Amino acid sequence: TVVGIAEIVADAAVAGRSNGTTMRPGVEVTELASGLRVASEFRPDVHGVAFGTWIRVGSRDEAEPVAGVSHLIEHLLFRGTERHDSLSIAESFDRFGAELQASTSREETDIYARVLGEHLPEAIDIVGSMVAKPEFNDIEPEREVVLEELALYEDTPDDLVHDLLGSQLFPDQAVGRPIAGFVRTVDGLDERTIRDHHAAHYNANQIVFAAAGAIEHAELLALVEASFDGLQTGIVGERIAAIASTGGESFLERDTEQTHIAIGGVGIGRQDERRFAMAVLDQILGGGASSRLWQEIREQRGLVYSVYSYVAYLEETGQIGLALGTRTENLSEALEVASAEIGSLAAGQFRAGEVVRAKENLKARLLLNMDSTAARMSRLGRSLVSNVPLMTDTEVARRIDEVPESDVQALVAELYSPAGLTVAGIGPDEAAFAAAVEIFRQPVGGAA
């Protein structure tokens, strides 16, 4: 499952912003005068501190001619700042015994690490400088790195097929474009464009700093204020609503051993009250080793090596789907079985114990994640950058337990109709793909 319990925890809605108040035991959130929000969860029983910075900018915030600029900036932050060059950044985190990582998604950019408490002041100083005062003087070598990343992606059909699906499901929109952009757009990004994009989005009121571990909130505030100096307060722009084009197909012919399939449709937004039912559904359909897709397509019939379902949440909408890879001769049967399992769930034909088992899985993973300071830090950062504060673990578990089978069935019927889903494929035989998709879309009666 691409998005599961972590999204539920991070996106659970309660009230608005907090300022220096406790949201749950051990958690405090403060909004600085600049608008930057700082969140911490005190864990005195650990040696280290997991921390991260979230910036409300991603590929969704880009015009088509500059597609990939957010991702390129994420890379360039590591290339040096006014206070730290790229080598000193790398050497410092090696000395800390830590790995500084970053990622870009459709709606956010994040930079994160886990260090010992004694190294935290220096680590925060470095990251604050990277975010607030990057040099952007060493663009060309990093552009080449990103172009190599794009080339690698082109050679990875089980990843590339998801980009193909996005462009078909959300055509001619930023939300449907590859997060890293295209070769032609990355090639065309000049220093002025990069600096302008950073200035427009890396503003204090679009940034969240979160930490979990052996750090007091007051101490963290002082470190962040000192390290993230110079940030301006900007305008948080409204995002253009995504408009889906459902029921289409897209195929890319490649000389591959397998045909790689991604099937998707419009999901729900991260504040939708049905997200708990969605998590239960995703777990039943393709979220684990006992799920419908895994058992029926892989274990019982041996048609695939990998098959899974997924859920992705955005501000006002989302994406649901499933993916698999199989030899061309197995493709029609694999998609026929997938369609039958969707039809079975849409008809309310639940198997003995599967709903309870899915709920227990979600609750267990919720609690196991809480053993990790990185997971605690991540849920703080993700929730606040999305302006969706946290529920307690107890409340999330209760909401999962309360999901009725009828809500799961209703979601399948509304969102997973094979006739309305979009299908993308990469493989050697377009005719075999078209025939398999036709079989997938045919109405079937599910059999429990």
Q: Which residues are catalytic?
A: 74
Token pair 């972590």 is found at 6
Strands 27-31 and 21-24: antiparallel
Distance CA 48, CA 120 (A): 9
Q: Which amino acid is at 221?
A: L
On whether the CB atoms of residues 138 and 126 are closer than 8 A, the answer is no
On whether the CB atoms of residues 71 and 88 are closer than 8 A, the answer is no
Q: What is the DSSP letter of 257?
A: S
Residue 399, C-beta contacts closer than 8 angstroms, at least 6 positions apart: 12, 276, 391
Other CB atoms within 10 Å distance of the CB of residue 57: 27
Structure tokens at 311: 């859920």
Token pair 């694999």 is found at 334
Distance CA 120, CA 117 (A): 5
Distance CA 369, CA 436 (A): 39
Distance CA 237, CA 215 (A): 33
On whether the CB atoms of residues 348 and 406 are closer than 8 A, the answer is yes
On whether the CB atoms of residues 147 and 108 are closer than 8 A, the answer is no
Our CA dihedral for 389, 395, 400, 403, rounded to 10 degrees, sits at -100
Closest Cα partner for 433 from 263, 308, 244?
263
**CB burial of residue 300 (10 Å; 0-12, 13-18, 19+):** exposed
